[in-house]
Chains A and B, each alone.
Chain A
Amino acid sequence: MITIENLHKSFGKQEVLKGVSLKFQSPGITAILGPNGSGKTTLIKSILGMALPGQGTIRFQGQDIKGGWAYRRQIDYLPQIARFPENLTVQELLRMIQDLRGGQPDAEPLIRLFALQPHLGNRLGNLSGGTRQKVNLVLAMMYDSPVLILDEPTSGLDPVATQRLKELLRQEKEKGKYILVTTHIMSFVEEMADEVVFLLEGHVHFRGGLQELKEKYGASSLERAIARILEEGELGFSSNGHGEKAAQLVLRGA
């Protein structure tokens, strides 16, 4: 579905991606992990054509996405930070995106799922962070596209909404979709992900199943495995047990 070859990207002097090659060939949930600034969001934005690669190619269903736009019809994207035009109401925003994108979206079940009915007439500028994130989720998931890219979907959500999101993602997975998720919540990964991609300093450091990751690093939990990776990497963490704590700090996000 998506093939990334030798992707390089830098912003000014800062090299964010240093030759990432990835293939997404089978449906399921892939968690993209990595400390802050490891290039997760840049990778996602490159797939969407929002950030333009310095080097390398990205193919979507075999076609180079360079200069393309129609392929985005097949991708539903949840941005990391829910930023909307402040003047619009939720209802107007939903209608606008539907009008711009066309097709046959179905927002109703999602609105009910996240209990957004009372907020439909409110201006987006007046919504709380969690409610914004719910609107963000409805916008991203109201289309039934084969690829779903979620950048930190759980941020700001209360436990009930998080549970419902997980349930929803399971259903989407059942439909045979490709789902890419970045997150810092390890329990979310252990519960949901079929596969993990670990980005470290602009490289793919590890890719494989959860079990494989744990075995490779001889760890009993995902958190420990990640800690080992960070200890191995030349991040300056000493290997006297502080690594795990540092990894937790890094993964929870500053």
Chain B
Amino acid sequence: MFKILKYSFYDLTRSRWLYIYGAFYLLLSASLLWLGGGLSKAIISLMNIILVLVPLIATMFGVMYYYNSREFTELLLAQPIRRSHIFFGQYLGVACSLAISLLLGVGLPFVLYGIFSSSEIWNFSILLLVGLFLSFIFSAIAFFIALRNENRIKGFGLAILVWLFFAVIYDGLFLLALSMFSDYPLERFAIGASLFNPIDLSRILILLKLDISALMGYTGAVIQNFMGTVLGMACSLGVLLLWVALPAWGIKRVAVRKDF
């Protein structure tokens, strides 16, 4: 599996999109830090971008890489290699290269700015951690969708739809539900509903760290009570892990049963 990871990674490092992606973060973080003024402001701005962009790019990369490496996959399938290793190797290759782009692109400017000697270090770490999680989650979902759909157009469309759902539509429905049932206590529902969307969960994790949950009103306070604790934090991270594991399990299931 690690050999396949290595080759997928090597293959991806030749693609200029990965560099463009990394360079974009580099430029963005640097300009937010030096032109926008201040670490915590930069972190909040970056959060809003990372929460939307990381899932989108991970989705597109995952789908594209799967379809573009069909030849490589077919070659590997005839070799004495476990099927699940082939697909996990490729998936991890995509996810790791995206994660490294993000890590370097966002990390370097912050390190140069002096994040290590600042009190914002924890907030920044949680932002990066969440970014890494989202890379792994959405590339796994994308791989799973691509694996299930032979038709590229259909696979691409579905993957983008899933991203759109989690990034935009889900929030809309969530807000709609909150305003429709505003006469009822919705705190538990709010916590529960946010667990089912990795992007929302990530956002809450960062916002709580940033201590601006007061902006979220009473619901925010309840969420703070739950997730602000060590237990809540562990829970949310656990759920994020589950969000990686679930599509990964799906990849394995489909890969083992698929005809080539």
**Interfacial chain B residues near A51, Cβ < 8 Å:** 259-260
A79 within 8 Å of B (CB atoms): yes
In the assembled complex, A205 has its CB within 8 A of some CB on chain B? no
Q: Please, how many residues of chain B have a CB less than 8 angstroms from a CB on the other chain? A: 24
Q: How large is the interface on A (under 10, 10 to 19, 20 to 34, 35 or more residues)?
A: 20 to 34
Q: Is the CB of B80 within 8 A of A72?
A: yes
Name which of A31-39, A96-104, A108-116, A236-244 contacts chain B: A96-104
| Contact residue among A50, A85, A97, A101 (Cβ-Cβ distance under 8 Å from B11) | A85
Within 8 A of A (CB), among B62-88: 69-72, 74-83
Q: In the assembled complex, which residues on chain A have CB atoms less than 8 Å from the CB atom of B258?
A: 52
Residues of the B chain whose Cβ atoms lie less than 8 Å from the Cβ of A73: 80
Q: Does B257 count as interface, using CB distance less than 8 angstroms? A: yes
Tell me whether A99 and B82 are in contact (CB under 8 A).
no
Say whether A83 faces chain B, with CB atoms less than 8 Å apart: yes
Task: Specify which of B11, B78, B81 lies most central, judged by the most chain A CB atoms within 10 Å of its CB.
Answer: B78
Which residues in chain A, 34-73, are within 8 Å of chain B measured between CB atoms? 45, 48-52, 67, 69-73
CB-based A-B contact count at 8 angstroms: 61
The distance in angstroms between the C-alpha atoms of A51 and B80, with both chains bound, is 15
Asked whether B3 is an interface residue with its Cβ less than 8 Å from the other chain, the reply is: yes
B189 within 8 A of A: no
Verify A50–B78 contact, CB threshold 8 A. yes
List residues of chain B with CB within 8 A of the CB of A96. 7
B47 located at the interface, meaning its Cβ lies under 8 Å from any Cβ of chain A in the complex: no
Answer whether residue A77 sits at the interface, using C-beta atoms and an 8 A cutoff. Answer: yes
**What are 22 A-B pairs at a CB distance below 8 A?**
A45-B259, A48-B77, A48-B78, A49-B77, A50-B74, A69-B80, A69-B81, A69-B82, A70-B80, A79-B75, A79-B78, A83-B70, A85-B69, A85-B71, A87-B14, A96-B7, A97-B75, A100-B3, A100-B7, A100-B81, A101-B79, A101-B80
Ordered nearest first, which 9 A-B pairs have the shortest CB separation?
A83-B71, A72-B80, A73-B80, A77-B78, A51-B259, A50-B260, A85-B72, A69-B82, A50-B77
